[in-house]
Amino acid sequence: MARANGGPAAGPGIDTAKLRAWWSHRQWLDGTHPEASAAEVLAATGWARSVGGAAPYLGLFARAGLGRAAVDAAVARLEVHELPAARGCTYIVPAEDFALALAAGAAVPEGEVAAAAKHLGVTAGEVERLCLAVDRALAEAPGPLDPAAIRVAVGEAVRSLGEPGRKRGLSTTLPLALGLMQSRGQLRRVPANGRLDQQRYGYARWDQPVGGGTADLARRYLSWAGPASLKHFRWFSGFGAATARQAFAEAGAVPVAPGAELLMLPELVDAFAAFTVPAEPHYTLLAGIDGIHLLHRELARLVDPVDAARPLPAGRAGRSFGTEADPQTHIVLDRGRIVGFWEYDTERAEIVHLSFVPSNAELRSAVARTEEFVRAELGDARGFSLDSPRSRVPKIEALRASSGEQASRPDRRGSA
């Protein structure tokens, strides 16, 4: 069921605008935590998905004004770190959650080893022997080793899986060992140049405990993303229905309103009831995979129906914003509602954006602030590792053309 202004209905008397603004508030996207550290932001708002793009930097800048140097320093000090976590996906995680994040993703590399045994004739013992060889190589190395150097160091302990392996995306046995050792906290990936917006790594030994149950993950998740449904939590965690339901029950989750599918922590119920939507807009520019979207991965929650019908910049004919599982561009947010698209043009060193609402001083300031951050500290705002300035050109041209049309025919709707 959806309310007239879009998104899921929480229950009688609770409208979408309040839900969106609450989610934005809990995600620290209301400008109220300018002095927070990277670890504090991630502990309070959730692990930041990392795919070799600018999303972690953009999210930490939007929430606490953190520059790249501060974030990179936190990574170097292991206050935060990129780990394989829920569903085996990589996230930037605060130190207090290292053990839980590793536990949440542990089943994935074990499943990969089982699949390799079934389809490629790789035995568990072979992989374990390779893990021991990798550990010895890293112990003797003066610093982190990249995969090529590890292959040389372990010699015949790693073997090619030939054409059958390549067809399954696994050319050698080394990724199996590295995945297992990461999930066990025995090694960690070290960014080659200390930055999070690329995917070149070395590996170093580690001695990180692993632990935490499904209820621990559920409580963390609900503190970041509640109100949320079991479906939302299953998407994030990768749990089956029974496991997710039990985890929510053990976490003490309660409906946000009688009969609602959206659940939250009981200690937040009174705060949510007293919460009111801010009267003034507050604009933030975020990556399309920011937690405000990706923790639930239900785009309709954040999009008004009239905006859901908008064509995608340089998208295929017949596709619209509302038909996508994820935004195909970076997004502009106001009190939990997506109110625009944006991309970074490296040739002109500027942000190109299309606003769904009339421009005003606050929106122009948010764009200018983020533009200066990207230009001065990141150099680009890639969505993911394979994103490139060249591949982005059609979207940028489409955004530029659409924003020109908007300037001649301004949208008269409000931003709320």
| pLDDT values of the chain reduced to their tens digit, one per residue, 416 residues | 334 344 454 555 578 999 999 999 999 999 999 989 999 999 999 999 999 999 999 999 999 999 999 999 999 999 999 999 999 999 999 999 999 999 999 999 999 999 999 999 999 999 999 999 999 999 999 999 999 999 999 999 999 999 999 999 999 999 999 999 999 999 999 998 999 998 889 999 999 999 999 999 999 999 999 999 999 999 999 999 999 999 999 999 999 998 899 999 999 999 999 999 999 999 999 999 999 999 999 999 999 999 999 999 988 888 899 999 999 999 999 999 999 999 999 999 999 999 999 999 999 999 999 999 999 999 999 998 888 999 999 999 999 998 874 543 344 333 33
Phi-psi region of 161 (alpha: psi -120 to 50; beta: other; left: phi over 0): alpha
Residue 9 confidence (pLDDT): 46
Q: Which of 5, 76, 14 is nearest to 261 (CA)?
A: 14
Residue 408 confidence (pLDDT): 39
Residue 3 confidence (pLDDT): 42
Residue 6 confidence (pLDDT): 45
Residue 14 confidence (pLDDT): 74
Residue 385 confidence (pLDDT): 85
pTM above 0.75, yes or no: yes
Residue 333 confidence (pLDDT): 98
| CA-based end-to-end distance of the chain | 21
Task: Report yes or no: 200 and 192 within 8 Å, Cβ to Cβ.
Answer: yes
Altogether, the residues listed in the chain come to a count of: 416
Could you tell me the CA-to-CA distances from 408 to 351, 364, 395, 399, 403 in Å, in that order? Answer: 20, 17, 20, 14, 9
pLDDT tens for 174-199 read 999 999 999 999 999 999 899 999 88
